[in-house]
Amino acid sequence: MLPDPNDKETSVTTIMIINGPNLNLLGLREPHLYGTDTLDDVRRLCASVADELGLQIEFHQRNHEGEIIDLIQKARTDADGIIINPAGYTSTSIAILDALLAAERPVIEVHVTNIHRREDFRQHSYVSKAASAVVMGAGIQGYEFALRRLATLTRR
């Protein structure tokens, strides 16, 4: 008998990882703040951790708010959890917050830097209101922490 793809016990948990604007420049842009790891390094790290945990990931980077919202809406039906680094939209986008709330999936917010040690305007996060957890200031290792936490949250 084949496993039922709708059965949570036999289906693979899928995590959608969404990276916001300018993260395609990770490793190049302000390395004194963000380090020299690239977005490809983040992708490889996430793939390795997902493989270890038996997770499937969808990895995305978008510079446009509407495209990020489209991905979040897609996650509502295609993913079991969301990791989001909203980057510059962290402190500006109520629309991304609304999409995350509507997704009805566990969300982990990730920031490579500690936003509370940055400029005042960066210290507020709308996204945090939808997040089960926030990981910041851990460099790209924050993505690993987020994947491990989502593995726990989605397997309950």
Q: Where in the sequence numbering do the catalytic residues fall? A: 34, 111
Which residues are bridge partners to 110 per DSSP? 135
61-132-80 Cα angle (round to 5): 60
What is the amino acid identity at position 56?
A: Q
CA distance 10 to 86: 31
Q: How far apart are CA 87 and CA 21, in angstroms?
A: 6
Cα maximum dimension of the chain: 58
Handedness of CA 46, 49, 53, 54 (dihedral sign): positive
Residue 57, token pair as written in the block: 């990931």
Structure-token match 């990895």, residue found: 59
SS3 146: helix
